[in-house]
Amino acid sequence: MKKITIAITAELCSVLGITDSATDMDVVTAIKKVTDQNTALKATETKLSSEKVALEDKIKELETSDVKKEVKTLLDEALKAKKLTVEVRNSLENDYAENPKSLKKLLDAMPAYASVVGQINEQNKTASDEFVKMSWDELAKADKLAKLKEVDPKMFAEKYEAKFGKKLPE
């Protein structure tokens, strides 16, 4: 073995944790201890780095899961409120999979679907309810006979028969 002579300064003694009266064997042991600590620190660093990556991946997974849940909830509520169809819901779910804030703005701006036929029937029902209470003469005076005939031809025929004592000619 080759022998190397090194001058050990007070600073090096401090770093190695030895006194200035240390033997060669004490210096070798101190250097080995520092080397072992360095190896252990590198292993710990590698382990912690791997754990950090795994935790970052888990955070991303949880964030993605939360965003998906939020998007699904928004779309399910909009579907229930009849703001969109199943096909539109599925399309929006793909388009806004990572953007629930914009999806919420869009859905909030959308009115609920109202059937045109349903609206007409509701208007006709309201008009029919009004016409039930009125006699033929009151309807004629209020100029509502044409509207009654359009909205409820059966009631028009009944009022005609009640007024004139005969069925409405067809």
DSSP string for 8-56 = PPHHHHHHHT--TT--HHHHHHHHHHHHHHHHHHHHHHHHHHHHHHHHH
Contact 27, 9 (CB under 8 A): no
Handedness of CA 28, 29, 30, 31 (dihedral sign): positive
What is residue 145's predicted lDDT score, i.e. its pLDDT?
84
What is residue 23's predicted lDDT score, i.e. its pLDDT?
85
Q: How far apart are CA 92 and CA 72, in angstroms?
A: 10
What is residue 47's predicted lDDT score, i.e. its pLDDT?
96
Sequence-ordered alpha helix ranges (H) in 81-144: 86-95, 100-109, 116-132, 136-141
Q: Considering the entire predicted model, what is its pTM? A: 0.43
Residue keyed to tokens 């030895």: 18
What is residue 97's predicted lDDT score, i.e. its pLDDT?
86
pLDDT tens series, the chain, 170 aa: 787 777 888 888 888 898 888 888 888 899 999 999 999 999 999 999 999 999 999 999 888 888 889 989 999 998 888 888 889 889 888 888 888 899 889 888 888 877 677 666 666 666 667 777 888 888 888 888 888 788 788 888 888 888 888 888 87
DSSP assignment of 115-132: -HHHHHHHHHHHHHHHHH
What is residue 124's predicted lDDT score, i.e. its pLDDT?
60
Domain ranges of the chain: 24-109, 116-164
